[in-house]
Structure 1
Amino acid sequence: MRGLPVIFFGGLQFSDPTPVMIYGGAPLPALYVLSVFDVRGNPQPYRAVYIGQTGNAAAKLDVNHPAVVRWTESGEALGMLNVCVLYLPYVRERERAILANRLVGQYEPELNRKFSVGHRIAD
Structure 2
Amino acid sequence: MLPPLLRSARHATTSLRPAAMRTFHSTRIARDHFLDASEDTFNKRALDGSSTKPVLVDFYAAWCQPCRVLTPLLKGVTGPESGYDLMTVDVDEHPELAAKFKVTALPTVVAFKNGAVKNKFVGFRGQADIDKFLGLL
- TM-score, L = length of structure 1: 0.31
Q: Which has the larger radius of gyration?
A: 2
Q: Which has the higher strand share?
A: 1
Q: Which structure exhibits the higher relative contact order, with contacts defined as CA atoms closer than 8 Å and separated by 6 or more residues?
A: 1
TM-score by length of 2: 0.29
